């Protein structure tokens, strides 16, 4: 995906997610079974996941290259990155402690949804400052995937929201 497509997919997918959450009843938003995260916790987890990325991308490209390093390979495709993530999850990969959410009640749903959309808005504006080459050159650490290019990190961020929306739908369907 080129930069405009990344930006469009990020904005669209996260808007679809918050729109979906708005259709849930309070009971559905706070429902959990077998120790699984509630929809509120899924929302909070996404906020916790996007926030450090937004903070990192405030830095200019040359500082990121110095601090994080440069890729020694081409970026994976979206499909390859998703396959790697799904493989890591299947092997038992889970969120690390800093990304594990606290409970979020329905009274915070609107506020957290707006927070998430605000973070995505910042992220998409920041991506606009990087070149296509920067997206394939600058690497960043991912707790489960290891070192990934910024383009791959955007692929993950797009898929991540879809993964969590599907998790909520599946959990509610089996509930």
Tell me the two tokens of residue 172: 């509610």
DSSP 38: P
Element (H, E) at 148: strand 146-149
Closest CA to 21 of 89, 109, 87: 109
pLDDT (tens, 9 = 90+) of the chain, 175 residues, equals: 999 999 999 999 999 999 999 999 999 999 998 889 999 999 999 999 999 999 999 999 999 999 999 999 999 999 999 999 999 999 999 999 999 999 999 999 999 999 999 999 999 999 999 999 999 999 999 999 999 999 999 999 999 999 999 999 999 987 6
Q: What is the pLDDT of residue 175?
A: 66
The number of C-alpha atoms within 13 Å of 7 and in the hemisphere containing its C-beta is 16
The angle formed by the CA atoms of residues 55, 58 and 63, to the nearest 5 degrees, is 110
C-alpha 67: how far from its chain's center? 22
Residue 146's H or E segment, with its range, is strand 146-149
Helix axes 109-127, 39-56, angle to 10 degrees: 30
Compute the distance between CA of residue 158 and CA of residue 98 in angstroms, rounded to an integer: 20
Q: Quick check: helix, strand or coil at residue 142?
A: strand
Radius of gyration of the chain (CA): 16
**Backbone φ, ψ for residue 149 (5° rounding):** -75, 165
CA distance 8 to 16: 12
**For residue 34, what pLDDT is reported?**
85
Superfamily the domain 3-174 falls into: dinb family like domain (1.20.120.450)
């Amino acid at each position: 995906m080129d930069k405009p497509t990344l930006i469009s997919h990020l904005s669209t997918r996260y808007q679809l997610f918050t729109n979906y959450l708005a259709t849930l009843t309070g009971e559905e938003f706070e429902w959990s079974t077998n120790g699984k995260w509630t929809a509120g916790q899924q929302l909070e987890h996404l906020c916790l996941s996007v926030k450090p990325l937004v903070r990192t991308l405030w830095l200019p490209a040359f500082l990121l290259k110095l601090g994080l390093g440069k890729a020694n390979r081409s970026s994976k495709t979206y499909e390859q990155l998703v396959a790697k993530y799904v493989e890591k999850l299947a092997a038992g990969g889970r969120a690390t402690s800093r990304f594990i959410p606290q409970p979020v009640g329905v009274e915070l749903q609107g506020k957290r949804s707006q927070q998430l959309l605000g973070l995505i808005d910042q992220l998409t504006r920041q991506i606009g400052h990087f070149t296509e080459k920067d997206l394939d050159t600058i690497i960043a650490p991912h707790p489960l995937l290891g070192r990934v290019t910024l383009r791959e990190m955007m692929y993950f961020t797009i898929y991540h929201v879809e993964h969590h929306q599907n998790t909520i739908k599946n959990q509610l369907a089996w509930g």
